[in-house]
Homo-oligomer: A and B are copies of this chain.
Amino acid sequence: MYTSITNVRVRYVETDQMGVVHHSKYYVYFELAREDYIKETGIEYRQMEEEGLMMPLVESQCKYYVGAKYFDELEIETKMLEISAVKVVFEYIVRRKADGELIAKGKTVQAFVDKNTFKVINLKKSNIDLWNKMKKLMEE
């Protein structure tokens, strides 16, 4: 199973008055992590959208263990847990880089959607090449 590694440094604006990263910002970190995972197929997510394929979220979840702080460097491990013709499931594990402390764990489910119609599409039929590449990453 291919695992991508993403490094993110906590921005000041991402903290709140609790003095830690606001819980909603982890979903932004997951988005960055997904970009890194996807580009391993040889095609960037930006390009996918330009070519008409979008991957909007149908589900997201996160468990929070320790609050990340301003300027912490975080390391996110991303894996693809499942893929079908119409959706894909990613898992994210966020650790503080300095000491490996577990910060958060998350999951997202994304549908394959046509950019113009906003309808779900069958990736196997609409883009067999991308399908094969993603499938391969999961089975590696």
B-contacting residues of A (Cβ < 8 Å)?
11-13, 15-20, 22-25, 27-28, 31-32, 35, 44-46, 49, 54, 56-64, 67, 70-71, 118
The SS class assigned to the A binding surface is mixed
B18 touches A16 (CB 8 A): no
Contacts beyond the supplied A24-B28, A58-B63, A61-B61: 16 A-B pairs with Cβ under 8 Å: A11-B31, A12-B16, A12-B22, A16-B16, A17-B17, A18-B56, A23-B56, A23-B57, A24-B25, A35-B71, A46-B71, A49-B70, A56-B67, A58-B64, A59-B63, A60-B64
Which residues of chain B are near A12, meaning CB under 8 Å?
16-17, 22, 31, 35, 45
Nearest-CB residue, chain B, relative to A115: B18
Of the listed residues A19, A27, A35, A56, the one surrounded by the most CB atoms of chain B closer than 10 A to its CB is A27
Nearest-CB residue, chain B, relative to A46: B71
This protein's copies in its complex: 4
A70 touches B24 (CB 8 A): no
B56 touches A70 (CB 8 A): no
Which residues of chain B are near A46, meaning CB under 8 Å?
70-71
Which residues of chain B are near A27, meaning CB under 8 Å?
23-24, 27
Which residues of chain B are near A57, meaning CB under 8 Å?
23, 64
Which residues of chain B are near A24, meaning CB under 8 Å?
13, 24-25, 27-28, 31
